[in-house]
Amino acid sequence: MTLQKILIHSGLFIATFFTTTVAGVSWLNIDPFDLSNFVYGLPYSIGILFILSCHEFGHYFAARYHGVNATLPYYIPTPSLPGFLNFGTFGAVIKTLSPVPSKKVMFDIGVAGPIAGFIATVGLLMYGFTHLPGKEFILQIHPEYFTQESQGIGLRFGSSLLYDFFSIILTDGANDFVPPMTEMYHYPFLITGWFGLFVTAMNLIPVGQLDGGHLSYTMFGDRHRIVSRISFGIIFIIGAMGFLPLLGIETTFGWSGWIFWTLILLFVVKLYHPPVEDETELDPTRRLIGWLTFGILAVSFSPSPFNL
């Protein structure tokens, strides 16, 4: 690897570490532009970079195992701007530099990332729910929390099956203060775990060259085109329903941001997966792993991730 590439990858990582730490400070309602507060954002930034790194290095090591040349992860930083919802990053990506020779290899590379990222996400969520701070934590952020009728900033994060499951089985309803979805973003391990589920689900949608598209193509062959069109249509409909409140139809189902994601799928990712040279069908073990991975999509997906 050349010095220039090392500087690019390390520079992007450092920049993303900085922007995610600033975002972590912002989630706590602390001034992110005061560098003395930087340390308060570290649990968030370390957690979110841990999830992204596990995901991308899952792809990377699977590629290298099969002799496919791939880059190290490119981390994507985003600045925190006042008035904008920002996680401090748009994620991370790797790029394969040599052809993927077969469905088997394509499957292994595609599935390794979401499984590794999901395991990291589950670990953070479990830690977050089993180490919830007391009510004094939320009172430090909102001193009036238990006295005012209108709490939070009007932002409600959408839950998922797995998030709800952990919030029930890993907490003591009588003694733990489990933050509602209007306040959970103040808790760094809960919001990073939520983010991990969100990006895992987005990547596992079986369209084009998303991770889910790799799985769909290698598992279903040419039928992946039907799966892709149906999946695209479902996401489009959920996105369109996010605009219903603008028409005076009150609903909390759907998110208009899914429309933006469908545009990315249509014009950038593309709907259909390109073929590989060796189209030998997958063995039963890989097919089972594939179905289990689509199960990860089912328990991680939130049709309404953000509600204002």
CA distance 275 to 278: 9
Q: Is pLDDT larger for residue 165 or for residue 34? A: 165
- Averaged over 280-306, what is the pLDDT? 97
Question: Which of 294, 295, 300, 298 minimizes the C-alpha distance to 107?
Answer: 294
Residues 6+ apart with CB under 8 A from 25: 31, 32, 37, 38, 40, 41
Are 276 and 106 spatial neighbours (Cβ–Cβ below 8 Å)? yes
pLDDT of 154 higher than 80:
no
pLDDT of 145 reads 85
- Averaged over 256-274, what is the pLDDT? 95
Q: Where does the pLDDT of residue 265 fall: very low under 50, low under 70, confident under 90, or very high at 90 and above?
A: very high
Residues 6+ apart with CB under 8 A from 72: 1, 5, 9, 60, 94
- Averaged over 117-125, what is the pLDDT? 98
Q: Where does the pLDDT of residue 152 fall: very low under 50, low under 70, confident under 90, or very high at 90 and above?
A: very low
- In degrees to the nearest 10, what's the CA dihedral of 139, 141, 144, 150? -120
pLDDT of 149 reads 53
CA distance 307 to 48: 22
CA distance 46 to 62: 24
C-alpha distances (whole Å) from 305 to each of 65, 129, 130, 277 are: 35, 19, 23, 38
Give pLDDT tens digits for 61-101: 999 999 999 999 999 999 877 667 889 999 999 999 999 99
